[in-house]
């Protein structure tokens, strides 16, 4: 027999035999790759392609495909989806959503893992050009994966979606705060529609279908933001602990109470923080690490397992040394202030006022021109002061969750005024504010200090006004 012929023959019989195994191995590999969301360079293996299948028979659809079929039929009837749409299903592990799209006549449809989409614009992983898809879908079966890097995924969806294209997401959110955080992640989009949807086998009590439309090429909210306090936020503020409006008679003994009080109703204890971009803690007047970052924020503040970036503002250089070893804390060597300028800072190292424990704290005083070229005059140290509102606006957005503690020794009233006027107050999700007032003296019944020229009643009014204006502020003592 001609050996060449024989080889051809064996190939003919060999391939049909191994083909099922090849398919099986391919499917297992594809599933494994998609699950791991590898950042590998084998980019196209992430895609669950159905293009080359012989036209599937949809008469016996599985439950999940049937569920998606109804979803897409409805979207098609409403005009969000066209037969000609180029469609992408995100975190399409089973491919059921892709199959359902084809079954409603949208043939140009593919699926991808969320991790692969997130990496789809990095280095060798360039999978999709900008403005590639007319329709993107993120189904409920996989929404849990949002919690890992939601803002990065949202950015890639914004990048790959066509202007005028639609994004449809199924999410289950517990509260309106979380829902709004989620919508804000899609900086390129505006909300088209949102509705409760009927759930078949995906058991959950409130599943929303959110339809967003990409209305601009670039993120519309960078650099500017509107400062409107929505109704849901005002409602949350009503659930904070009541303000103490009457001056406590023993106010001289109140130092540190705010940190330890069990009665604080933290905002982060009331809402789900999953859909925030970054998690920030800004400590104004941080002194040593354990003063409030270590003793209170790290230990007591409810963080929902999120990793917070910590910024410590401290103007007194004597505290700086220990911050060089505190990982994850960025020292801001400034006095937080209403504008950039040089100030003289009073640092009273003598514990003269023991009853009030004010020794070692600093107070801001304006620079006197005669002291321009000195770093230290009498009891005054020269420090750089930073325009806090400007820094907040340049550094953070309303998509971030920002917590601030403000203990700036009397400068807080001017500071709050500046934050409100600049709109930067809207960037602060939760504020712990110490308002300094003249307290009763321990020694002498009925007598008060004469340091701040501010009464308790004035402070109480400031807190009440802030809450009324939509700021989740707590009294910090
Ligand atoms: C694609 O979009 C990204 C993000 O919007 C942008 O930074 C990038 O320059 C765009 N690339 C091209 C080729 O337009
Ligand atoms: C204030 O100073 C900071 C830090 O040096 C700088 O980045 C910022 O641009 C200044 N802001 C203004 C309004 O000048």
Residue 359 binned pLDDT confidence (cut-offs 50, 70, 90)? very low
**From the CB of 122, is ligand 1 less than 6 Å away?**
no
**338 and 206 share a domain?**
no
**Tens digit of each residue's pLDDT (9 = 90 or more) over 45-104:** 344 443 334 344 445 457 778 888 999 999 999 999 999 999 999 988 788 899 999 999
Distances (CA, A) of 146 to 125, 281, 301, 429: 20, 23, 24, 22
Residue closest via CA to ligand 2's atom 4 equals 386
pLDDT at 180 (0 to 100)? 85
pLDDT at 352 (0 to 100)? 38
**Tens digit of each residue's pLDDT (9 = 90 or more) over 287-337:** 888 888 998 999 999 999 999 999 999 988 888 888 888 778 999 999 899
Q: Which of 163, 183, 214 is the last residue of a domain?
A: 214
pLDDT at 451 (0 to 100)? 73
**From the CB of 159, is ligand 1 less than 6 Å away?**
yes
pLDDT at 241 (0 to 100)? 92
From the CA of 339, the nearest ligand is: 2
Read off the pLDDT of each residue in 469-474 and give the average, rounded to a whole number. 93
Pairwise CA distance, residues 274 & 366, whole Å:
43
9 belongs to a structural domain: no
Residue 187 binned pLDDT confidence (cut-offs 50, 70, 90)? confident
Read off the pLDDT of each residue in 19-43 and give the average, rounded to a whole number. 50
pLDDT at 217 (0 to 100)? 61
Residue 152 binned pLDDT confidence (cut-offs 50, 70, 90)? confident
**From the CB of 386, is ligand 2 less than 6 Å away?**
yes
Is 70 exceeded by the pLDDT of residue 43?
Answer: no
Phi, then psi, of 114 in degrees rounded to 5: -65, -40
Residue closest via CA to ligand 2's atom 7 equals 391
Range scoring the smallest mean pLDDT among 298-302, 344-348, 381-385: 344-348
**From the CB of 214, is ligand 1 less than 6 Å away?**
no
From the CA of 128, the nearest ligand is: 1
419 belongs to a structural domain: yes
Distances (CA, A) of 307 to 41, 181, 278, 280, 433: 29, 17, 8, 9, 23
* 391 Cα: distance to centroid of ligand 1 (angstroms): 27
Question: Could you give the 3-state DSSP secondary structure of residue 335?
Answer: strand
From the CA of 214, the nearest ligand is: 1
**Tens digit of each residue's pLDDT (9 = 90 or more) over 66-82:** 888 999 999 999 999 99
- Sequence-distant (6+) residues with CB within 8 A of 404 are 281, 282, 283, 284, 428, 430, 431, 432
Pairwise CA distance, residues 196 & 210, whole Å:
9
**206 and 253 share a domain?**
no
**From the CB of 365, is ligand 1 less than 6 Å away?**
no
Q: Which is more confidently placed, 97 or 366?
A: 97
- Sequence-distant (6+) residues with CB within 8 A of 4 are none
Q: Which of 159, 187, 188 to mutate to test the pocket of ligand 1 (most atoms within 8 A of CB)?
A: 159
**From the CB of 340, is ligand 2 less than 6 Å away?**
yes
Q: How many structural domains is the chain composed of?
A: 2
**From the CB of 387, is ligand 2 less than 6 Å away?**
yes
pLDDT at 143 (0 to 100)? 53
**464 and 327 share a domain?**
yes
Range scoring the smallest mean pLDDT among 136-140, 243-247, 366-370: 366-370
* 376 Cα: distance to centroid of ligand 1 (angstroms): 51
**185 and 295 share a domain?**
no
Pairwise CA distance, residues 151 & 276, whole Å:
7
Contact 173, 234 (CB under 8 A): no
454 belongs to a structural domain: yes
Residue closest via CA to ligand 1's atom 12 equals 130
**190 and 54 share a domain?**
yes
* 121 Cα: distance to centroid of ligand 1 (angstroms): 9
221 belongs to a structural domain: no
* 428 Cα: distance to centroid of ligand 2 (angstroms): 20
Residue 218 CA, closest ligand 1 atom number: 5
* 339 Cα: distance to centroid of ligand 2 (angstroms): 9
**275 and 417 share a domain?**
yes
Q: Which of 182, 214, 246 is the last residue of a domain?
A: 214
Residue 17 binned pLDDT confidence (cut-offs 50, 70, 90)? low
Read off the pLDDT of each residue in 239-253 and give the average, rounded to a whole number. 80
Residue closest via CA to ligand 1's atom 1 equals 130
How far is the first Cα of the chain from the last one, in angstroms, to the nearest whole number? Answer: 98
Average pLDDT of the chain to the nearest whole number? 77
pLDDT at 52 (0 to 100)? 37
From the CA of 218, the nearest ligand is: 1
**416 and 285 share a domain?**
yes
16 belongs to a structural domain: no
**194 and 244 share a domain?**
no
**248 and 192 share a domain?**
no
Is 70 exceeded by the pLDDT of residue 201?
Answer: no
Pairwise CA distance, residues 330 & 289, whole Å:
11
**235 and 199 share a domain?**
no
From the CA of 394, the nearest ligand is: 2
**175 and 250 share a domain?**
no
Residue closest via CA to ligand 2's atom 3 equals 386
Q: Structural domain of residue 170, as residue ranges?
A: 25-214
**From the CB of 326, is ligand 2 less than 6 Å away?**
no
Range scoring the smallest mean pLDDT among 99-108, 262-271, 273-282: 262-271
For the question of whether the overall pTM of this predicted structure is more than 0.95, the answer is no
pLDDT at 141 (0 to 100)? 58
Pairwise CA distance, residues 455 & 446, whole Å:
14
pLDDT at 386 (0 to 100)? 92
Q: Percent of the chain having pLDDT more than 90?
A: 33
Q: Which of 187, 214, 241 is the last residue of a domain?
A: 214
**301 and 154 share a domain?**
no
pLDDT at 26 (0 to 100)? 58
Pairwise CA distance, residues 334 & 313, whole Å:
6
Residue 334 CA, closest ligand 2 atom number: 4
226 belongs to a structural domain: no
Pairwise CA distance, residues 392 & 402, whole Å:
10
Q: What CATH number should be reported for the domain holding residue 179? A: 3.40.50.150
Residue 256 binned pLDDT confidence (cut-offs 50, 70, 90)? very low
**From the CB of 384, is ligand 2 less than 6 Å away?**
no
18 belongs to a structural domain: no
From the CA of 393, the nearest ligand is: 2
**From the CB of 357, is ligand 2 less than 6 Å away?**
no
17 belongs to a structural domain: no
């Amino acid at each position: 027999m001609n050996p060449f012929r024989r080889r051809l023959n064996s190939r003919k019989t060999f391939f049909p035999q191994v083909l099922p195994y090849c398919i099986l191995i391919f499917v297992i590999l594809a599933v494994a790759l998609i699950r791991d969301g590898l950042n590998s360079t084998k980019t196209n293996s992430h895609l669950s392609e159905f293009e080359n299948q012989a036209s599937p028979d949809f008469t016996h659809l599985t439950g999940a495909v049937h569920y998606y079929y109804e979803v897409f039929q409805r979207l098609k009837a409403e005009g969000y989806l066209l037969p000609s749409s180029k469609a992408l299903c995100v975190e399409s592990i089973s491919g059921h959503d892709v199959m359902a799209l084809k079954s409603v006549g949208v043939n140009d449809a593919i699926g991808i893992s969320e991790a692969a989409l997130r990496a789809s614009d990095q280095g060798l992983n360039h999978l999709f050009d900008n403005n590639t898809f007319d329709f993107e879908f993120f189904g409920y079966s996989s929404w849990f994966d949002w919690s890992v890097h939601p803002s990065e995924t949202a950015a890639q969806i914004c990048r790959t979606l066509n202007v005028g294209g639609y994004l449809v997401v199924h999410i289950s959110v517990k509260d309106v705060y979380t829902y709004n955080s989620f919508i804000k992640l899609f900086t390129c989009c505006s909300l088209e529609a949102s509705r409760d949807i009927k759930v078949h086998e995906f058991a959950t009590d409130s599943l929303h279908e959110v339809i967003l439309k990409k209305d601009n090429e670039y993120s519309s909210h960078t650099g500017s933001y509107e400062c409107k306090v929505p109704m849901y936020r005002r409602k949350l503020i009503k659930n904070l602990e009541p303000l103490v409006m009457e001056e406590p008679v023993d106010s001289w003994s109140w130092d540190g109470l705010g940190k330890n009080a069990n009665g604080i109703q933290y905002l982060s204890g009331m809402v789900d923080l999953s859909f925030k971009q970054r998690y920030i803690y800004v400590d104004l007047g941080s002194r040593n690490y354990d003063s409030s970052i270590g003793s209170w924020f790290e230990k007591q503040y409810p963080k929902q397992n999120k990793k917070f970036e910590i910024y410590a503002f401290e103007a007194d250089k004597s505290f700086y040394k220990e911050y060089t070893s505190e990982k994850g804390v960025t020292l801001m060597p400034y006095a937080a202030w209403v504008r950039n300028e040089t100030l003289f800072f009073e640092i009273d190292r003598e514990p003269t006022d023991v009853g009030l424990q004010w020794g070692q704290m600093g107070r801001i005083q304006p620079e006197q021109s005669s002291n321009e070229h000195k770093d230290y005059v009498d009891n005054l140290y020269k420090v750089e002061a930073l325009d806090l509102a400007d820094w907040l606006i340049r550094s953070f957005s309303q998509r971030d969750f920002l917590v601030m503690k403000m203990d700036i020794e009397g400068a807080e009233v001017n500071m709050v005024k500046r934050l409100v006027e600049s709109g930067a107050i809207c960037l602060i999700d939760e504020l712990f504010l110490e308002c300094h007032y003249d307290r009763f003296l321990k020694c002498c019944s009925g007598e008060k200090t004469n340091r701040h020229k501010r009464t308790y009643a004035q402070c109480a009014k400031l807190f009440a006004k802030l809450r009324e204006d939509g700021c989740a502020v707590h009294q910090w003592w």
